A and B are shown apart, each in its own frame.
Chain A
Amino acid sequence: MPETLPARVATPIPAPMRRHSRGLFAGRGGAWVIGLSVLVSLLSLLPIAFVLGVSWQTGWVRLVELVFRPRVGELLINTLLLVAITIPLCVALGVTLAWLTERSNLSGRRVWSLLAIAPLAVPAFVHSYAWVSLVPPIHGLFAGVLVSVIAYFPFLYLPVAATLRRLDPAIEDVAQSMGLKPWTVFFRVVVPQLRLAICGGSLLVGLHLLAEYGLYAMIRFDTFTTAIFDQFKSTFNGPAANMLAGVLALCCLAMLTVESAARGHARYARVGSGSAREQRLVRLKPGQTVMALTLWVLTCALTLGVPLVTLGKWLLAGGVQVWQMAELLPALQQTLLLGAAGAALTTLAAIPIAWLSIRSPGRLQRMLESCNYITSSLPGIVVALALVTVTVHFARPIYQTTLTVLLAYLLMFLPRALVSLRAGIAQAPIELENMARSLGRSPARALWLITLRLAAPGAAAGAALVFLAITNELTATLLLAPNGTRTLATGFWALTSEIDYAAAAPYALLMIVLSLPLTGLLYHQSKRTAGR
C-alpha cells in the first residue's frame, strides 16, 4: 500500500485541476507535502489494520466463539437501545431549544444560547459522577440515556441553531402564502433544511455514545466500551478484548454509513440574488412563554445545576483537605504538557492534508482525508488497544512513552485540527504564496512565511479544540500513559473508583475550568458560521 499511493500521484490528474496542480507537484516541496499527508493517513489506518490483523490471527473458529456469544448479544442490545433512544431525544431537545433561541421572541435568548452549550464544559464522566452521588441507586439504561442526553445534546443544539439562524425566510413565506399552517411550514419547510445539521449532530452524539467509557462505567450500564475495558483489566490485550473492539469498530463504521446515506442529495443553497431578508421572530403567547421558560430552567437545572451543586457539596464537605497540592499540581502540569504537545503535534500533522485539500483537491486528497475521518470515529479504547499491541510487539522503543500517547491523540483528534486549519488556509490567497516562490523562496518556506501565517488564527482554533479534547481524555490515557504519569482525568478516575468522591472533586473542578474556554470558542465559532 505505501508504494502504490505515491504512484497514484504521478497518474494523470483530472483535467479541471491539472493547470492548478502542475506547478505544485513540479517542486520538491509538493512531493514533500504529499509524502507527509500520505504518511499521516497511513498512520491513521493503523487501528483498522490492527482489528483486521488480530481477527485474522485469532482464526475463524475462535472468532466465532468470541463474537457470537450471549454476552456480546447483551452488549449489542444495550448499545443499540442506548443509541436508538438517546439520539431522538437529543434531536427533539436540541431542535426545540435552538428554535426558541433563534426564532422566537423569548427574552434572554443570548444567555439561554450560551447556557445550552455550557454542559460541554463538564466532561461526560463528571456528569455521571454528579448523578451517582446525588441519586446513588441510579443505574442501567434509564440512567445511561438520561446522562447521555444531558452531556451530549449540545452537539445537536450547536449546528441546528447555526443553521436556523441563516435560513432564508423567503421559502417559509412562500409556503405560508400557499396557505400552510405554521406547524406544517415548520415540518415541511424548516425541518428538511435542518437535515444536514441534524444528521451531523446525531452522528457526533452517536459516536460519543459508542466511545464513552467513564460515563457508563460509573452508572453501571454495560456497553461495548465498558466490556472491552473489563476484558482489558483481566487480560491486557487478550483475544476477547480485541474481538469486542472489532465489533465496536464495525458499529462505528455502520454509523458513518447510515449518516452519509441519511444526508441525502437535496439542494440546500438559497435561490436568488442579494442577501436574505432578516428573519421575523415568532411572538410567543403567554402560555407558550411559560412553557418555554420551564423547559429552559429544567434543562439548565439538570445539565448545569446537578454537576455544580454536587461538586460544590463535595468541595464543601472535603474542605481544604482535598486540595492535595502535591498530587493535584503534577496532575495539572502533566495534563497541560500532554495537551500542549498533543495539540502542537496534531496541528502540525494536519497542515499537509489541509493544504492539499485547499490547493490541490482531488481523489487522492479525499481518500487521505477519509482515512483520518474514519479513524477518528473509532473509540479511544480501540485506538489505544491497537497502539499498545503494536508498540509492545513491533515498536518497543516508543512503548510506554509520551510519544505513543501523543500518537493516539493525533489519530483521535486530527479532524478537529483539520477543519479549522482548512478554513484558515482557504482564506490565504494562493497568489501571495506563488509570489513568494517567484521571489525565490522554497515551497516549504513560502508555505510557512505566507500561508501559515495567514492561517494562524484557524490553526490556533483547531489546536485549542485538540488541547481541550486531550485534557478530558480518559480511556486512551489510562492505557497508554508512561509510567508515573497521572493526568487530571486519570487522577479523578482513580479516586472515584475508590468511592473517594470528595477527593475527586478538585480534579473535576480543574477539568471544568480548563474546558470553559472550549465553550466560549464553540459559541464564538457558531456565531461566525452564522454570519457567513
Chain B
Amino acid sequence: MNCKVPSFLKKALLATALLGAGHVYAADADGIVVYNAQHESLTKAWIEGFTKETGIKVTVRNGDDTEMGNQIVQEGAASPADVFLTENSPAMVLVDNAGLFAPVAPATLEQVDAAYRPAHGKWVGIAARSTVFVYNPSKLTEADLPKSLMDLADPKWKGRWAASPAGADFQAIVAAVLELKGEAATLEWLKGMKANFTAYRGNSSVLKAVNAGQIDSGVIYHYYRFGDQAKTGENSKNTALHYFKHKDPGAFVSVSGGGVLASSQHKEQAQAFLKWVTGKDGQAILKTGNSYEYAVGKNAESNPKLVPLQQLDAPKVDASRLDSKNAVELMTQAGLL
C-alpha cells in the first residue's frame, strides 16, 4: 500500500496506545487490586499500614457495596479484583452466592469473633456498625422517640424523618428488616416510608440536615455523629443518638465484610492483606483512627467513646443470609429508587 500513514497520526496513536497499555499493565504487573466499598479514608489507612509492613502495592477502585458486588458478578472469572471490602454484608452474600470467593485462610478466620463472620468461612467480618436514630433535641423530646424502626411508617411520622435510600447502608438495614419481618411486612413498611420520609444523598447529609433543623430526625449508622464530633462538630452539635435496642430491626448491627476472589492471580498477597486488616494492627486502626466503626477482631477493642457492641441488644441476623437483591427490588417497587 503506497499511502503512508502520516507521522503525526502514528505518534498520536502510539501515545494513546501506550497510555492505555500503561494503565492496563500498571494494575496487573505487581501488587493487588482492592475493590473498596468501605470509607475511602479507612481503607487508605489500612493500605498504608499494610504496604509499609509488607511492601506489597495496593491499587484501589472505590465504589458502593452492591454496585461493586454486582460488578464482580458480571466480571466473573476474569475480574481484575483480588480483594473485595464492603461496608455491609449483603454485597458479600451477592458475590458469595455467585461462588466467586476463595475460602478465607483459617488463620484469618481465627482472628475474628465468630459472631461477625459466616460459618462457611468464604468471607470474614472486618468491622461493624450499628443502626441509630439521630434526632434534633429541639424538635423531638425523649418521650417522642419511636420504640421501633417499624413505627416510622406510621402517618404520625410524616415529613419528620430522613434517610439515604440510594446508599448501601440503608439498603442493608432494609435487608435486615426483610430477614426479620418477611417480604410483605417489609414492602408495607417501605411504602409507609415513601410517604413519610425525605430522601438525602448520603448519611452525612442526613446528619447535617437534622443538625440544621431542616428535618426532625433520621436513620443512619452510629459513626457519622462520632466522626463529626471528633472533628469540629459543626454538623452534629444539635443532634443526639437514640439506640432502638430490644432486638428491634432498628438495632441491627451490620457487619462489614472482606473476601478474596477465587479468580485472583495474587491469592497469597490478597490473603495477607485480609489477614492484616483483621489482625491486631488493622483492628487497632478502628480504635485509634477517626472511622469510629466497631472492631470485630478477637480481643480487639473499639474506640472507648462508643457504646459497647454488647450493650446494643441487636437482633440476631445471619449476615450470610442478607438479600440485597430482593431488598433493592422491594425498594424499587415502593418507588424509593
Give the interface of A toward B (CB within 8 A): 28-29, 32, 69-71, 74, 136-137, 217-218, 220, 222, 227, 229-238, 240, 337, 341, 344-345, 348, 392-393, 396, 398-403, 406, 442-445, 447-448, 452, 482-485, 494, 497-499
Contacts and interface: CB of A to CB of B under 8 A. Distances in A.
B2 A442 contact: yes
Contact of A494 (B4, B62, B70, B168): B62
Given A234-B66, A445-B6, A482 B23 contact: yes
B328 A234 contact: yes
Nearest to A72: B335
Contacts of A447: 6
B30 interface: no
Nearest to B228: A499
B15 A235 contact: no
B74 A345 contact: no
Contacts of A233: 63-64, 66-67, 166-168
A268 to B, nearest CB: 39
Given A230-B166, A234-B64, A499 B70 contact: no
Interface stretch (B111-119, B199-207, B280-288): B199-207
List 5 tightest A-B contacts by C-beta distance, closest first.
Answer: A236-B70, A448-B6, A442-B3, A230-B166, A403-B20
Interface in B147-178: 165-168, 171
Contacts of A69: 333, 335
Interface in B282-334: 324, 328, 331-333
A219 to B, nearest CB: 10
A396 B78 contact: yes
Given A231-B337, A402-B19, A499-B235, A137 B212 contact: yes
B16 A345 contact: yes
B143 interface: no
A234 B22 CA distance: 31
Nearest to A27: B3
Contact of A497 (B4, B75, B202): B202
Interface string B61-80: 11110111111011100101
A227 B331 CA distance: 13
Contacts of B62: 494
6 contacts: A236-B71, A238-B70, A344-B12, A401-B23, A444-B4, A444-B5
A499 B225 CA distance: 13
Contacts of B168: 233-234
B86 to A, nearest CB: 13
Interface residues of B, number: 63
A406 B59 contact: no
A484 B61 contact: yes
B209 to A, nearest CB: 8
B59 A484 contact: yes
Contacts of A218: 201
Contacts, number: 144
B207 to A, nearest CB: 8
B8 to A, nearest CB: 7
B237 to A, nearest CB: 14
B337 A344 contact: no
A494 B12 contact: no
A483 B33 CA distance: 8
Given A443-B3, A452-B6, 14 more contacts: A136-B208, A136-B212, A217-B201, A220-B201, A227-B337, A234-B324, A234-B331, A235-B70, A237-B70, A348-B12, A401-B20, A401-B23, A444-B6, A498-B204
A236 B59 contact: no
B230 interface: no
B19 A220 contact: no
B241 interface: no
Most chain B beta carbons < 10 A, residue from A233, A341, A393: A233
Contacts of B180: none
Q: Interface on chain A toward B: helix, strand, loop, or mixed SS?
A: helix
Contacts of B8: 448
Most chain A beta carbons < 10 A, residue from B16, B73, B75, B171: B16
Nearest to A404: B20
B3 A32 contact: yes
A234 B26 contact: no
Contacts of A396: 78
Given A444-B4, A497-B202, A400 B166 contact: no
A234 B166 contact: yes
Nearest to B61: A483
Contacts of A483: 27, 33, 59-61, 80
B29 interface: no
A207 to B, nearest CB: 24
A26 to B, nearest CB: 13
Contacts of B324: 234
Contacts of B66: 233-236
A234 B20 contact: no
B75 A392 contact: yes
A444 to B, nearest CB: 4
Interface in B47-99: 59-64, 66-71, 73-75, 78, 80
A483 B63 CA distance: 11
Contacts of A485: 23
Interface in B236-294: none
Contacts of A494: 40, 62
Contact of A341 (B15, B26, B71): B15
B229 interface: no
Most chain A beta carbons < 10 A, residue from B2, B64, B204: B2
B107 interface: no
A402 B328 contact: no
B1 interface: yes
Most chain A beta carbons < 10 A, residue from B61, B168, B324: B61
A406 to B, nearest CB: 7
A12 B324 CA distance: 59
A406 B13 CA distance: 12
A512 to B, nearest CB: 24
A237 B74 CA distance: 9
A137 B198 CA distance: 13
A406 B68 CA distance: 22
Contact of B67 (A235, A399, A443, A484): A235
A447 B4 CA distance: 11
Contacts of A137: 209, 212, 214
A462 to B, nearest CB: 14
